[in-house]
Amino acid sequence: MADIAKIARRTFLIGTATVAGGVAFGYWYVNKPYPNPLKKGLGKGETTFNPYLKIAADNTITVIAPRAEMGQGISTTLAAFVAEELDVPLEMLKVEMGPTSKAYYNDTVLRESAPYPWFNDSPQAEILRDAFGAMSKVIGLQTVGGSSSTRDGFDRMRQAGAAARHMLVQAAAKRFGVRPDELKTESAKVVHTRSGRSLTYGELAADAGKVSPPSPLKLKEKADWKLLGKSQRRIDMLVKVTGAPIFGIDVSLPDMLFGTVRMSPVFWEKPSRVDLSKAEAVKGVVKIVPLDTTYGHGFGVIAENTWAAFRAAELIEADWGAPHYPADTAAVAKALNDAIAGGAPTVMRDEGDVDAALAGVPEGRLVEADYAVPFLAHLTMEPQNATARFSNGKLEIWAGNQTPTLVESLSGAAIGLDAKDVTAHTTFLGGSFGRREADATIYAAIMAKAMEGRPVKVIWSRQEDLRHDVYRPAARGRCRARLGVDGFPEALDLRVAVPSVIGNIMRRAFPSLSPLGTDVTITQGLCDQPYTVPNYRVSGIEADLGIPVGFWRSVGCSFNCFFHESFLDEIAHKSNLDPAQLRRRLMKDFPAARAVIDKVTEMARWDEKLPQGTAKGIAFSLGFGAWVSQVVQVKSTPSGIRIEKVWIAADIGTAIDPGILEAQLISGAVFGLSSATNQEITLSGGQVEQSNFHDFAAMRINQSPQFEVAILENYHKMGGVGEAGVPAAVAALANAVFALTDKRVRQLPLSREVSFA
Amino acid sequence: MRLSINGKAVDIDADPDMPLLWALRDLAGILGPKFGCGIGACGACTVLVDGAPIRSCSMPAGAVKGAVTTIEGLSKDGALSPVQQAWFEAQVPQCGYCQSGQIMSAHALLEKTPDPSDEDIDSAMAGNVCRCGTYPRIRFAIKKAAAFKRARA
Digit-coded pLDDT (tens) for A128-167? 898 888 888 888 888 988 999 999 999 999 999 999 999 9
- Domain match, A270 and A177 both: no
Any chain A CB within 8 A of the CB of B20?
no
Query: Nearest-CA neighbor of A644 among A610, A602, A598?
Result: A610
Structure confidence by residue, pLDDT tens digits, A557-605:
999 999 999 999 999 999 999 999 999 999 999 999 999 999 999 999 9
Contact residues, A window 432-461, toward B, CB-based 8 Å cutoff: 432-433, 459, 461
- One domain for residues A589 and A616: yes
pLDDT of residue A30: 57
Residue of B27, B35, B107, B117 for testing the chain A interface, max A β-carbons within 10 Å = B35
In this prediction, the answer to ipTM > 0.90 reads yes
Residue by residue, DSSP assigns chain B as -EEEETTEEEE----TTSBHHHIIIIIS---SS--S-SSSSS-TTEEEETTEEEETTSSBGGG--SEEE-GGGTSBTTBPPHHHHHHHHTT--SS-TTHHHHHHHHHHHHHH-SS--HHHHHHHHTT---TT--HHHHHHHHHHHHHHHHHH-
Domain's final residue, options A427, A459, A491: A459
Q: Check A663 against B94: CB less than 8 A apart.
A: yes
Residue A560 belongs to a domain: yes
Do residues A299 and A371 share a domain?
A: no
Stretch A45-55: mean pLDDT, rounded?
Answer: 96
Chain A (147-176) residues lying within 8 Å, Cβ to Cβ, of chain B = none
pLDDT of A6 over the 60 cut: no
Q: Residues of chain A with pLDDT > 90: what percent?
A: 89
CB atoms within 10 A of CB A272: 9
Give the chain B residue nearest A232 (alpha carbons). B91
Number of A/B CB contacts below 8 angstroms equals 172
Where does residue A418 fall: left (phi above 0), alpha (psi -120 to 50 degrees), or beta otherwise?
Answer: beta
Tell whether A534 and A406 lie within a shared domain: no
List phi, psi (to 5°) of A594: -60, -40
Q: Are residues A372 and A388 in the same domain?
A: no
- The verdict on A487 and A393 lying in the same domain is no
A2 pLDDT above the threshold of 60: no
Same domain, A358 and A407: no
Contacts of A414-420 with CB under 8 Å at 24 or more apart are A414/A293, A414/A442, A414/A445, A414/A446, A415/A390, A415/A445, A415/A446, A415/A449, A417/A393
Residues of A in contact with B95 (CB under 8 A): 70-71, 380-382, 428-432
Q: Give B75-132 pLDDT, tens digit per residue.
A: 888 899 999 999 999 999 999 999 999 999 999 999 999 999 999 999 999 999 999 9
- pLDDT of A137 reads 83
* A465 domain-assigned: no
Phi, psi (rounded to 5 degrees) for A148: -105, -15
pLDDT in tens, A644-702: 999 999 999 999 999 999 999 999 999 999 999 999 999 999 999 999 999 999 999 99
Look at residues A437, A459, A481 and tell me which one is the last residue of a structural domain. Answer: A459
Tell which wins on pLDDT, B96 or A22.
B96
Among the candidates A232, A261, A276, a domain finishes at A232
With respect to residue A8, please indicate whether it lies within any of the assigned structural domains: no
Q: Closest approach of chain A CAs to the CA of B149, in angstroms?
A: 17
| Separation CA A68–CA A104 (nearest Å) | 12
Provide the residue ranges of all domains of chain B, joining segments of one domain with +. Answer: 2-73, 82-152
Domain membership flag for residue A157: yes
> Are A263 and A307 members of one domain?
yes
User: Is B128 within 8 Å of chain A by CB?
Assistant: yes
- Say which DSSP state A224 is in: G
The fold of the B82-152 domain, in CATH, is: DNA polymerase; domain 1 (1.10.150)
A626-637 vs A285-293, strand pairing mode: unpaired
Partnered with residue A620 across adjacent β-strands are: A629
Residues of chain A in contact with residue B84, where contact means CB-CB under 8 angstroms, are 241-242
Residue A391 lies in a domain: yes
Mean pLDDT rounded to a whole number for chain A: 94
Q: Is residue A180 domain-shared with residue A316, that is, in the same domain?
A: no
Is there a domain that residue A20 lies in? no
Look at residue A132 and tell me if it is in a domain. no
- Residue A538 pLDDT grade (very low, low, confident, very high; cuts 50, 70, 90): very high
- Is the Cβ pair A707, B136 closer than 8 Å? yes
Q: Do A381 and B93 touch (CB under 8 A)?
A: no
Q: In terms of CA atoms, which chain B residue is nearest residue A704? A: B135
Pick from B126, B131, B134: which is nearest to A702 by CB?
Answer: B126
pLDDT confidence band for A14 (50 / 70 / 90): very low
Q: What is the mean pLDDT of residues A38-48?
A: 94
Mean pLDDT of A18-22: 36
Residue A537's domain is classified under what CATH number?
Answer: 3.30.365.10
Are both A313 and A281 inside the same structural domain?
Answer: yes
Q: Is residue A118, in this structure, part of any structural domain at all?
A: no
d(CA A231, CA A755) in angstroms, rounded, equals 38
Instruction: Give buried/exposed letters for A575-606 (b at 16+ CB in 10 A, else e).
Output: bebebbebbbebbeebebbbbbbbbbbebbeb
- Domain of residue A744 covers 329-376+471-752
Number of domain units in chain A: 3
- Judged against a pLDDT cut of 70, whether residue A748 lies above it is answered with yes
- Same structural domain, A170 and A202: yes
Res A132: pLDDT: 85
For residues A441 and A583, state if they share a domain. no
Amino acid A21: pLDDT: 34
CATH class of domain segment(s) B2-73: alpha beta
Q: Do B129 and A381 touch (CB under 8 A)?
A: yes
